[in-house]
Amino acid sequence: MFRQKKPAVTVSIPRAALEAIFDECDRYNADETGGRLLGTYRGKGAQYDVKVNGVIGPGPNARRSSTSFFQDGDYQEQVFRAIEARHPDVEHLGNWHTHHVNGYPTLSGGDITTYRNIVNHRNHNTDFFYALLVAHKNPGGGQRYDVKHFFFRRGDDTVYEIADRNVEIIDAPLLSTGQAEPEDGGYGRAAPDGSGHRGPPTVREGTANPERAKDREFFADFYPSLKALFSEKIGAPYWKGPLTLVDGSTIEIVAVEGAGTEARDYTILTSPDDKTCSDTVAAYKGRTFPAARHAVLNLERDLNRALYRKR
Ligand SMILES: [Zn+2]
């Protein structure tokens, strides 16, 4: 197997995310605990910029001991879907967990095996996995706990520790579900192995729209990286995933079906963090298409033209 270039990774994480993690650690003085990290990212070649903007706790049915920890995947999936419905560009970036109770200062062999399995799993949504480890407690003031950051890549057995100088702690609010407690809406399914992988796409057919079936067939054949999801919030399915452009870069897109209208127009948007051809993307604001595949093909073509002209 060929050798991959060592990745250059930067992380930005809100202070509020660390505080939420430390609060959870404070609650468990004898047992390991952890949760999921959400946000957005940009990946180009070996460069990854990971932007955390949400944390999901372990969930009510998590199992823990002083040396092991199993998250409540069903709970986390529900919270994730609720956040995603409000912020369609959000991704599951990775996990966090703590060793402050057992004093082991880095990832264990078991942790590494678990994270490698996740990143190489065919249902994993990205080609990387970010792991934040709470290493130990700081009794003497300052930041309450010391943390370390690790990065795994699909098809690459190396565990990369991200240097502190590449981690930026920012003041920004965390994404939330917009509700106090996650409701059991029955949407979203955790993977059967409880690993937090996305299960099969959960598209529900509301009022019959023949374009949905055509979109599904088209994307499955030509754009398998785009996934069908369902938003309870807007009561409509949408398509989400990375689009690879002519220069090899990728851009995250979301094509959303308008809710409740006869015409059922589709609009398309990209992650607000993505600055690729922002003028081209801006021209799509408010533009509607008869089907998701029309929206995706038009945007892809215009982005490729803009990139070609820029050379
Ligand atoms: Zn561990």
Query: How far apart, in Å, are the Cα atoms of 221 and each of 121, 198, 214, 224, 226?
Result: 21, 20, 11, 7, 11
Give pLDDT tens digits along the chain (311 positions). Answer: 455 678 899 999 999 999 999 998 988 877 888 999 999 999 888 899 999 999 998 888 888 888 778 888 888 888 888 888 888 889 999 999 999 888 889 999 999 999 999 999 888 888 999 999 999 898 877 889 999 999 999 999 999 999 999 999 999 988 876 654 333 232 222 333 333 333 333 333 334 567 777 787 788 778 888 887 766 555 666 788 888 888 888 888 888 877 555 556 788 888 766 666 788 888 888 788 888 888 898 888 888 888 888 87
- Is 21 strand, coil or helix? helix
Residues 142/20, Cβ–Cβ less than 8 Å:
no
**d(CA 93, ligand 1 centre) in Å:** 17
**d(CA 108, ligand 1 centre) in Å:** 5
**Is the pTM here over 0.85, yes or no?**
no
**d(CA 26, ligand 1 centre) in Å:** 17
